[in-house]
Structure 1
Amino acid sequence: MTKRCAVYVRVSTDKEEQKKSLINQREIFENYIANRGWDLFKIYSDVQSGTKATKRPGFQQMLRDAKSHKFDIILAKELSRLARNGELSYRVLNSLQENSGIDIITLDGAINSLENQTSMFGLYAWVYENESQTMSRRIKYSFEVKARNGEFNGSIPPYGYTIVDKQLVLRNDFTVEVVQRIFKCYIAGQGFDHIARQLLKEKIPTSSQVAHKKNASSIWHGSTIKGILSNEHYIGNLVQQRETSISVTSTKRKKNVPDNVIRVEGTHEAIISKQNFDLVQQLLVQRSREHAHSKYHLFTSIAFCSDCGRGMHYKKNRKGYVCGSFDKHGHTLCSDHIIRESDLVDVITSDIKGLYTRISSKKFRDILDKRLQASESKRLKQIQQLKNKIETLSKEKNEALRLKIRSEITDEAYQDLVDENNTNISRFIATKEELENGSTNQVNEQQLNELFREIEHFIKHPTLNEEMLHRLIKKIEIKKDGSPRIYYRFSDPHLSFIFFQATHNIQRASSVGTYRLAAPFSLDTRLR
């Protein structure tokens, strides 16, 4: 999100030459804000000869607006414009940063809290912070260097690893297999608490027990399982500096911005393959959207009502699934959307077998390669077009800011343009990032072969268990008449689209009325 900047300008007397200084100060900030792509929220100004803050209405209004989170940054020419005779004390600065989340920048270099440069903030700041900040910077820099060199900075390694010469090394015991088991069980459909209960039942030592912590607990918790499943260390990557302290005098911490998180790939031996790890991350997001039902069945957490979006609940007496809203509230909220489990299994099995027949040919591979190339060319063209649009809108904002500073347009006209452009820029950036993340260059021979192996494995062993189901299918929507729309899971959205284009839109009939295979431009490939 674009940062909103409040500007404070001040002159010491009401003499004519000092009033002119207000105009000069306003112009100083023009390029500073424009060059950084920020938005000007408001210019607060005071003309007075006293030093007390109570005589500065502009300054007081700025502080009130800061508490209301109306802007993100306070910008002034010099520290003296904000603080004289201890007026803006260290405590005020600390309060603005911690409680309101407001950064302060002065152009004389005295303070830039956005970049943690506050060592010159007056006598009080120097006394209370200078030494601590210097030490803090040295320590942080030392940790940063070690992290970038692939050294593990923590004292307790992830479950399954030990520390040898500041490197993560696989433990030579049961813990590695436990981690692999946790991932496998989750892919197979088991929840956090269920996995934790099984490990507790088998008396598997916990992380705290393996680390020999004092008062270590022998109880596995669902939150521990979730932490293991989302830990990137298990694919061989070292990820550190995820958090940072708000200030040297505070125990409060905040999440580091993504650019400051240090990620070094391939620093140690992986326990989990990247493919399985990525699959689990997708499942974590998917399952978080729907509360687990009391008991898992084959399509629990993957089958949803197409009308209300609730998960489908298995009903033993009907040998199938009904809409969760209907199951809980009856026809008041939704209809039953009933589908038999055996019918759904038959549909999926038939679809995969039919698909395998089509893709097992050289002709299919040739068609797929051509369409991948065409899609990649189109994707790159769209990305460049979006970049051009973003650049044009940013220039319009900068030009509007210059006009506002010179009083050539009204505040209302400026704000309307900025709001509209920010909305469009955010939309274009989101689309661009989606296109960039979906690069067909990533769709290589290895990925294709992995996909074919998954399908071939099912053909040789045509038993649709939970693990195979989650590997092949992202989700299933059940329509009112009980017909399913199946979203097949593939590693890349462009591959998903082009892959099914190359199968020439397979058509098939079914007793439960499934839809024809089609391929919209999305992450999902639907049976229509």
Structure 2
Amino acid sequence: VSSIIVPITNVMNDQYCYQTSKKIRQVFDYKRRNGQYIGSNPPFGYVKDAKDRHHLVIDPDAAEIVRLIFSLLLKGTSKRGISFYLNEHGIPSPSVYKLEKGMTVSNKPDGNTLWSGRMIHTILTNPMYTGDLVQGRFRVKSYKVHQIETVPEEEWVRVADTHEAIIDKATFEKVQELLLRDTRTSPQGRTVHLFSGFLKCADCGRAVTRCSGKNNVYYACATYKSRSRNACTMHSISHARLEAAVLYAIRQQVHLAVSYSEVIAQINSAPIKKNQSFRLDDTIHAKERELAKVTRYKQSLYQDWKDGEITQQEYRDMKATYDRQINEVSDVLARLTAERAELANGVDKEHPALVAFKKYQNIDALSRELLIELVDHIKVYENGNISVKFKFADQLRRIAEYIDVNTAESPAWAV
């Protein structure tokens, strides 16, 4: 009898542990979704509120260190360079800082009290600094296996604006974008090269990398340089020429933004503003007709299959094609409709896209921070020419449409 009872008891105990673990997870998940911080140690820069341990408040001294780290990266300092800077200036690492302040430390430093590139990366990628509560990024595998695993980002629990931000969201997103780029450091290891991560070959699409000659610095296609000289050509350009060309392109875009602002101010001060783009209306109507036509074709497919005019495989292939076309046209329609609505609402001369460029009216040199804010990428052509793809391109195009609508005469047929 005892040989039967023991396995049954083990099963019951195992089930009890499973149910208990499940209930605990549900309680934690409920608290997370209600914007309660349930971690033991807050991110560096925050402390638990004395009145509510599930709420975070800023630790002013630590927050200044966090802001410094973000600022240094945006100015072109590498993560390794930032760690050198903090260590050389005697700025305590998170664990040392907490010990000095008498706070609880999960892992006490075992002789290694200095900043490292890994610590810098952890701070730069933590979305909690924007004021949003982001939890559930790691979890224990199961109640049986106490192994920590990383949770996919789409499963993180996010609750917006639960505490005061140390870093504004725009700056945080700018840093995340920068971290995704190829940010190779200079030989000294302290700063990131000015154009690192921005240059692309106009033909093969791969990076254009920095090279150093005896007396000059130039750039060349990575495919040509390191893979095959038959796969692409050199696409060479000197650093001085590249820097001058990009600076000129940015100045032209700044001049355009200033001109747009002046014209918009005149339009908005006029007694009557137009808000209808006949070009947009025609394009939207054409896309609506296209969507209706493809939808009709898709609807008739099933009957064609049943009537034996097409095979089942042909039906599936054609249906997939029509579904893709419907999705593509629907996306275009949604964008055009939003564009028309934005046009109807008007444009302010202090539009974010205009402000972003206007604040650089007096630039005389490029900086890493400027490129991060204004430039998406730079293509280098074989003849040494370049093209600069700016951020805010779609917004500037819509602003140009608004100006065009309000400065052009309406066609006679539209009266």
Query: Normalising to structure 1: TM-score of the pair?
Result: 0.56
What is the CA-CA distance between 1:279 and the residue it aligns to? 1.7
Aligned AA (2:113): S
Q: Could you tell me how far apart the structure 2 residues matched to 1:208 and 1:369 are? A: 61
What is the CA-CA distance between 1:498 and the residue it aligns to? 2.0
- Given that 1:372 and 1:498 are in contact with CA atoms closer than 8 Å, whether structure 2 keeps it comes out as no
What secondary structure, in the 3-state scheme, does the structure 1 residue paired with 2:361 have? helix
Identify which of 228, 231, 248 aligns with 1:347.
248
1:359–1:461 Cα change, 3 Å: same
- Given that 1:293 and 1:313 are in contact with CA atoms closer than 8 Å, whether structure 2 keeps it comes out as no
What is the CA-CA distance between 1:281 and the residue it aligns to? 2.2
Moved more, 313-322 or 452-461: 313-322
Q: What's 1:498 paired with?
A: 398
Q: What's 2:59 paired with?
A: 171
Q: Could you tell me how far apart the structure 1 residues matched to 2:141 and 2:381 are? A: 50
- Given that 2:376 and 2:391 are in contact with CA atoms closer than 8 Å, whether structure 1 keeps it comes out as yes
Identify which of 239, 243, 248 aligns with 2:134.
239
Is 1:307–2:207 an aligned residue pair?
no
Q: What's 2:3 paired with?
A: none
Aligned AA (1:167): H
Higher relative contact order (CA 8 A, sep 6+): 2
1:227–1:450 Cα change, 3 Å: same
- Given that 2:353 and 2:396 are in contact with CA atoms closer than 8 Å, whether structure 1 keeps it comes out as no
1:454–1:427 Cα change, 3 Å: same
Is 1:281–2:281 an aligned residue pair?
no
Q: Could you tell me how far apart the structure 1 residues matched to 2:146 and 2:390 are? A: 47
Moved more, 231-240 or 366-375: 366-375
1:242–1:452 Cα change, 3 Å: same
What is the CA-CA distance between 1:419 and the residue it aligns to? 8.2
Q: What's 2:259 paired with?
A: 358
Q: Could you tell me how far apart the structure 2 residues matched to 1:373 and 1:147 are? A: 49
Q: What's 2:413 paired with?
A: none
How do residues 189-268 of structure 1 correspond to structure 2 at under 5 angstroms? 189-211=76-98, 212=105, 213-215=107-109, 217-252=112-147, 253=149, 255=151, 258=154, 260-268=155-163
What secondary structure, in the 3-state scheme, does the structure 2 residue paired with 1:360 have? helix
Q: Could you tell me how far apart the structure 1 residues matched to 2:67 and 2:274 are? A: 35
1:442–1:371 Cα change, 3 Å: closer
Deviations 1:410-448 (A, max 9, x none): xxx878977886798689779978998996689997995
What is the CA-CA distance between 1:184 and the residue it aligns to? 2.2
Is 1:322–2:220 an aligned residue pair?
yes
Q: Could you tell me how far apart the structure 1 residues matched to 2:162 and 2:379 are? A: 41
What secondary structure, in the 3-state scheme, does the structure 2 residue paired with 1:280 have? helix
- Given that 1:245 and 1:254 are in contact with CA atoms closer than 8 Å, whether structure 2 keeps it comes out as no
1:129–1:415 Cα change, 3 Å: farther
How do residues 180-191 of structure 1 correspond to structure 2 at under 5 angstroms? 180-191=67-78
Deviations 1:342-401 (A, max 9, x none): 43244224423431342122448969995899979989x989x99x999x999x99xx9x
What secondary structure, in the 3-state scheme, does the structure 2 residue paired with 1:322 have? strand
- Given that 1:304 and 1:476 are in contact with CA atoms closer than 8 Å, whether structure 2 keeps it comes out as yes
Deviations 1:272-294 (A, max 9, x none): 11111122222233x1xx46264
Is 1:142–2:31 an aligned residue pair?
no
1:294–1:423 Cα change, 3 Å: farther
* Cα RMSD after superposing both structures: 4.7
What is the CA-CA distance between 1:170 and the residue it aligns to? 0.7
Aligned AA (2:133): L
Q: Could you tell me how far apart the structure 2 residues matched to 1:330 and 1:229 are? A: 37
Q: What's 2:411 paired with?
A: none
Q: What's 1:460 paired with?
A: 362
Q: What's 1:474 paired with?
A: 376
What is the CA-CA distance between 1:136 and the residue it aligns to? 1.7
Q: Percent identical across equivalent pairs?
A: 23
How do residues 374-413 of structure 1 correspond to structure 2 at under 5 angstroms? none
What is the CA-CA distance between 1:264 and the residue it aligns to? 0.9
What secondary structure, in the 3-state scheme, does the structure 2 residue paired with 1:272 have? coil
Q: Could you tell me how far apart the structure 2 residues matched to 1:204 and 1:306 are? A: 44
Q: Could you tell me how far apart the structure 2 residues matched to 1:281 and 1:151 are? A: 25
Aligned AA (2:32): A
Paired positions, count:
363
What is the CA-CA distance between 1:182 and the residue it aligns to? 2.0
Moved more, 361-370 or 330-339: 361-370
Moved more, 474-483 or 161-170: 161-170
Q: Could you tell me how far apart the structure 2 residues matched to 1:279 and 1:124 are? A: 57
- Given that 1:244 and 1:256 are in contact with CA atoms closer than 8 Å, whether structure 2 keeps it comes out as no
How do residues 63-212 of structure 1 correspond to structure 2 at under 5 angstroms? 127-164=12-49, 165=52, 166-173=54-61, 175-211=62-98, 212=105
- Given that 1:200 and 1:218 are in contact with CA atoms closer than 8 Å, whether structure 2 keeps it comes out as no
Q: What's 1:63 paired with?
A: none
Query: Normalising to structure 2: TM-score of the pair?
Result: 0.69
- Given that 2:263 and 2:403 are in contact with CA atoms closer than 8 Å, whether structure 1 keeps it comes out as no
Q: What's 2:236 paired with?
A: 337
Deviations 1:114-160 (A, max 9, x none): xxxxxxxx979952542123212321222122223322111111121
Deviations 1:178-234 (A, max 9, x none): 222222222233332232232233332222333443235323232332222221111
What is the CA-CA distance between 1:319 and the residue it aligns to? 4.9
- Segments of 5+ residues of structure 2 without an aligned counterpart are 1-6, 99-104, 405-415
Is 1:292–2:184 an aligned residue pair?
yes
Q: Could you tell me how far apart the structure 2 residues matched to 1:133 and 1:371 are? A: 63
